Amino acid sequence: MPSLKEHCAWDRTHLGAEYPLMHKAIDYPGLFLGKILPEKYGGPKHRRFGHTPQYVLLVAPLLYPNDPLRATIAGMMHLWLDHQPGGRGKAKPSPAT
């Protein structure tokens, strides 16, 4: 998974501004809940919480009322980038099925 710095670099390159609060809001619920819930909800599985398009659509206008469209795009790309193979932007070929 890309780091906050990598998500913000994507924002800056493609949207012309960074949206760090959006990325923190997406990752925080699962990271926090992973600490208080059973271990199976922590780590990479933290994406069960906050990593949905519905959550992004709800949170983006609250965090960035002056730029909700770009914040929403940044959030949606966060979800997409987190699910790319290889992590950290180093895509690996998918295994043959």
How does pLDDT run across 31-50, given as a tens digit for each residue?
Answer: 666 666 655 555 555 556 67
Higher pLDDT, 79 or 49: 79
The H-assigned helical ranges of the chain are 4-15, 20-36, 53-63, 68-82
User: Is residue 96 in some structural domain?
Assistant: no
Task: Answer whether residue 11 is part of any domain.
Answer: yes
The whole-model pTM stands at: 0.74
Give me the domain span that covers residue 22: 4-82
Asked whether residue 90 is domain-assigned, the answer is no
pLDDT of residue 37: 60
Rounded to an integer, the average pLDDT of 23-27 is 90
85: tokens are 């193979």
Q: Is 87 a member of any domain? A: no
Q: What is the pLDDT of residue 58?
A: 94
| Rounded CA separation 95/78 (Å) | 23
Is 91 part of any domain?
Answer: no
Number of domains, the chain: 1
**Residue 89 belongs to a domain:** no
Say what the pLDDT of residue 12 is.
96
**What confidence score (pLDDT) does residue 2 get?**
86
